[in-house]
Amino acid sequence: MNMCLYYNKGVSDYVGVWDYDEHFIPLGKYELITDIIKDVDVAPSQVLLMNKDSKNMYGDLPIPVPSFDAAATYNGGRGLADKDGHPLCYMVLSSQVTFFRKAVEYVDYEHPWVGERFAHGAEGLKNGSGLGFQKSIRPTRRIFQGGLHLGGGCHLPYPWNGCPDPSDSFCESGYIHRLQPFINGSILNFHNDQLFDEVVYDEDAKHVNPLTQGVINHIQFHRHWFGATDDALARPSTYTTKYFSTVIELLDRQGLYLPMSLPIREKVEFTGTYSLTLPSTHSLTLPSTYSLT
């Protein structure tokens, strides 16, 4: 994961991390993942300009710590983290889960493709038996470490890196979690910077809306003991209806959509001859049902 990240630094702006049995589905007005990224993120150098004239109460930067009542509804604007007053560290993607039509369903050799085998809809976002994991799109200039699902270490430029001097690039806090007290005694983890050694939380990221922008479709190839619900079976797959025909066309254009026959186990009588030469230091013992000529 991190090798991929570092190979792409200076080459690409973002790295998307999800499994081979997952694919990204743009929703609503979006056709490309890049269009969603453009609406969600903006270079940190542009954050001040993008939010300077905002008419909401958090339009000024640095963003003041919201009141206790406002903290629950605070949501950072374009390029900002959802719950903190600094640029987003990475983008979070929600997952929906698609099961087989029925549990323990065997492969139909005439229709082996994902768009055919999983032509029905996905389960609800919260109805995937706990298998709808979050994934992420990571800006290569900001993330320097990450795991399978979410981004990890986040390095922001000045003035959001906690450094007092613009010439400093890496400043450490000596602690990993900050809580700010309110006058009424309540506390809130809200801050305008992200120091180099601090843990990155969901609040430091921006969530892509799974209903209006885009979602990860997690195909449950290897969990055959699950079957789809009636609600999912009643809906068509967005991937099948919107993208599958194009995928097959492109595969066929590259010579990759070919007739195939899967191996079938059966006994075949051997009627030919077989020669074998052994070194003098080796011996061969055959079962009683075999003879060597």
Q: Sign of dihedral through CA atoms 245, 246, 251, 253?
A: positive
SS3 95: strand
pLDDT at 128: 77
Q: What is the pLDDT of residue 55?
A: 39
pLDDT score, position 43: 78
pLDDT tens per residue across all 293 residues of the chain: 889 988 999 999 999 989 888 989 999 999 999 999 999 998 776 765 555 544 333 444 556 656 666 666 778 888 889 888 889 999 999 999 999 998 887 777 778 888 999 999 999 888 878 888 899 999 999 999 888 777 778 998 888 888 888 888 888 877 656 665 555 556 666 778 888 888 888 888 999 999 999 999 999 988 888 999 999 999 999 999 999 999 989 988 888 776 555 555 556 666 666 666 667 766 666 665 555 55
Token pair in block for residue 254: 């590259």
Cα Rg, the chain, nearest whole Å: 27
Instruction: Name the burial class of residue 67, with classes exposed (0-12), middle (13-18) and buried (19+) by CB atoms within 10 angstroms of its CB.
Output: middle
Q: 80 Cβ partners below 8 Å, 6+ apart?
A: 47, 51, 63, 86, 87, 88, 206
Can you name the residues that pair with 16 across neighbouring β-strands? 137
CB 83 within 8 A of CB 76: yes
Structural contact between residues 143 and 151, judged by C-beta atoms closer than 8 angstroms: yes
Buried b (16+ CB within 10 A) or exposed e, 89-105: bbbbbbbbbbbbeeeee
Q: What are residue 25's DSSP bridge partners?
A: 215
Residue 185: other Cβ atoms inside 10 A: 7
Query: With the CA atoms of 171, 173, 177 and 181 taken in that order, what torsion angle do they form, in degrees rounded to the nearest 10?
Result: -110
Q: Residues in the chain, how many? A: 293
Res 69: pLDDT: 64
Chain Cα centroid distance, residue 27: 16
Selection from 41, 9, 5 nearest residue 145 by Cα: 5
Contact status, residue 88 vs residue 94, Cβ threshold 8 Å = no
Q: Which of 84, 37, 93, 89 is nearest to 205 (CA)?
A: 89
